[in-house]
Amino acid sequence: MTPSVLIVGGGAIGLAIGWELARSGADVDLFEADTIGAGASATAAGMLAPTAELSFEELDLYRLNCESKRRWPAFARRLEDQTGRDVGRRTHGTLMVADDRDSAEALRRQYRFQTEHDLDVEWLTGEEARAKEPFLAPNLSAAVWSPSDHDVDNRALVEALADALEQRGGSIHEETPVAAVEPDPRTPALRTADGERVEADRVVVAAGAWSSQLDGLNGAAPPIRPVKGQIVGLEMQVPFDLQHVVRGPEAYVVPKADGRVMVGATAEEQGYDEAVTGEGLFRNLEGGWEVVPGILDLDVQCTCTGFRPASRDHAPVLGPSAAPGIVMATGHYRHGILLTPVTAEEIARCILDDTVSPWLEPFLPTRFDGDRAGARPT
Ligand code: FAD
Ligand code: GLY
């Protein structure tokens, strides 16, 4: 028997889980408060960068990030073959660059840590880095080259996932906010803001930065808060032709397959404030300009804000929760696009086989149990 599953949230995570389940014959209904991709998934820079985004204290997360990166090519191929859509995966690699003595020292420390963990990185002088990427600033002193950190067009990804889910028989209900979930081991349910009650075998909470807001989760609500990110989209114009993702000390610059160049991003503790501010624009453009000066000649295409879903330990919250019948797939913070394949495949397996794979174990929602003070941000 294949199960019926209700999914709350139409970002990359909810859509990919829905697609994975529907491919196996599950009966999937996905509820999105707004339109698909309205959350962080369409705003993101789309980097698939486990190495460049490695933090010293996050080795479990690093392993999960690498595993998801490893699964990306097959995942993208499957999605593209099914839908005929191109998700704009680029494999030019990432340059982490330093523009002064302090940032060179920080980069050197990060490089030592990366090599201690056998990562695929190479130390370059400023000159060597510019030979690889001529649009780098002339004053850069050093760089770390990470050839296996790639990127994808996350907007195209969201659209392809929605198509793929519907082609496999799933239903997407846009502009249908879910107000509450009703946990139950056999037939959990959800209630929409319009008062409709829907039952199924499982309910998946993939509501991104809003995942702790649903009524009915009580002590099982994940401790998720929004971390605001402002990002600027520029339009690639001749002769500017940046090929590599460039990560500077204050900002990153990400060329996209569709001709955009994303420059970002701020990380602000501002609750759900959506404002694009002068300071946000200034910091992004200044930080980007310091490493890739040519961006200042490009037309601005968009300025946007997204909310990264951050848990208390900044790791994702994945798997069965203490609320019976409710499965969490949230808290992807800075890595949700990168983590889409592993999340979709492992959460689908968890629901279809009723097992928790070793990939999910470090990230189970129950690690926060007993820590109720943080369950719902005030
Ligand atoms: P979202 O995309 O936010 O989707 C959640 C959805 O749930 C939303 O559409 C929302 O409307 C819906 N929803 C909320 N509440 C309800 C409800 N009650 N009922 C129904 N629907 C509801 N990650 C990377 O891997 N690489 C990057 O380069 C990268 N860059 C980023 C840059 C910025 C500026 C930001 C903000 C994020 C970035 N991220 C990046 C992180 C990534 O965007 C997120 O981790 C990821 O998009 C989370 O996906 P999601 O589907 O969980 O959440
Ligand atoms: N991963 C990039 C960001 O969160 O801004």
Q: What is the CATH number of the domain that holds 31?
A: 3.50.50.60
Out of 280, 310, 340, pick the residue that ends a domain: 310
* 312 vs 357: CA distance, rounded Å: 23
**333 found inside a domain:** yes
For residue 207, the ligand 1 atom closest to its alpha carbon is 7
Same-domain status, 55 and 194: yes
User: Which residue's C-alpha comes closest to atom 4 of ligand 2?
Assistant: 334
Structure tokens that stand for 129 in this block: 């880095």
Structure tokens that stand for 68 in this block: 């998801």
Q: Is the CB of 330 under 6 A from ligand 1?
A: yes
How, if at all, do strands 317-320 and 326-330 pair?
Answer: antiparallel
Out of 292, 310, 328, pick the residue that ends a domain: 310
**135 found inside a domain:** yes
Same-domain status, 335 and 300: no
Q: Give the model's pLDDT for residue 373.
A: 45
* 357 vs 282: CA distance, rounded Å: 44
User: Which residue's C-alpha comes closest to atom 5 of ligand 2?
Assistant: 265
Same-domain status, 164 and 70: yes
Q: Give the model's pLDDT for residue 331.
A: 98
**88 found inside a domain:** no
Distance 356 CA to ligand 1 centre (A): 24
Nearest ligand atom owner, CA of 157: 1
Same-domain status, 185 and 299: no
Q: Residue 262 belongs to a domain with what CATH number?
A: 3.30.9.10
Task: Please list, in sequence order, all residues whose beta carbon lies within 8 angstroms of the beta carbon of residue 97, skipping any fewer than 6 positions away.
Answer: 107, 129, 136, 140, 142, 143, 246, 247, 248, 291
**Residue 2 carries which DSSP code?**
P
Q: Which domain holds residue 239?
A: 94-147+226-310
User: Which residue's C-alpha comes closest to atom 46 of ligand 1?
Assistant: 336
Same-domain status, 217 and 231: no
User: pLDDT in tens for each of the 378 residues of the chain?
Assistant: 789 999 999 999 999 999 999 999 999 999 999 999 999 999 999 999 998 887 777 889 999 999 999 999 999 999 999 999 999 999 999 999 999 999 999 999 999 988 988 889 999 999 999 999 999 999 999 999 999 999 999 999 999 999 999 999 999 999 999 999 999 999 999 999 999 999 999 999 999 999 999 999 988 999 999 999 999 999 999 999 999 999 999 999 999 999 999 999 999 999 999 999 999 999 999 999 999 999 999 999 999 999 999 999 999 999 999 999 999 999 999 999 999 999 999 999 999 999 999 999 999 999 998 665 444 443
Q: Is the CB of 93 under 6 A from ligand 1?
A: no
User: Which residue's C-alpha comes closest to atom 2 of ligand 2?
Assistant: 334
**89 found inside a domain:** no
Same-domain status, 336 and 357: yes
| Rg of the chain (C-alpha set) | 21
110 sits in which H/E element: helix 101-116
Same-domain status, 252 and 367: no
Same-domain status, 299 and 337: no
Same-domain status, 107 and 239: yes
Please give the backbone phi and psi of residue 50, each rounded to the nearest 5 degrees, phi first: -60, -35
User: Which residue's C-alpha comes closest to atom 3 of ligand 2?
Assistant: 334
**81 found inside a domain:** no
Q: How many structural domains compose the chain? A: 2
Q: Is the CB of 45 under 6 A from ligand 2?
A: yes
**49 found inside a domain:** yes
Q: Give the model's pLDDT for residue 370.
A: 67
220 close to 374: Cβ distance less than 8 angstroms:
no
Out of 256, 283, 310, pick the residue that ends a domain: 310
Same-domain status, 54 and 190: yes
Nearest ligand atom owner, CA of 308: 1
**82 found inside a domain:** no
For residue 335, the ligand 1 atom closest to its alpha carbon is 25
* 348 vs 342: CA distance, rounded Å: 10
The structure's pTM equals 0.96
Task: Please list, in sequence order, all residues whose beta carbon lies within 8 angstroms of the beta carbon of residue 126, skipping any fewer than 6 positions away.
Answer: 136, 139, 140, 141, 142, 143
Q: Is the CB of 229 under 6 A from ligand 2?
A: yes
Mutate to test the pocket of ligand 2, among 252, 268, 304, 337 (most ligand atoms within 8 A of CB): 252
SS3 letters for 179-229? EEEECCCCCCEEEECCCCEEECCEEEECCHHHCCCCECCHHHCCCCEEEEE
Same-domain status, 232 and 305: yes
Same-domain status, 325 and 296: no
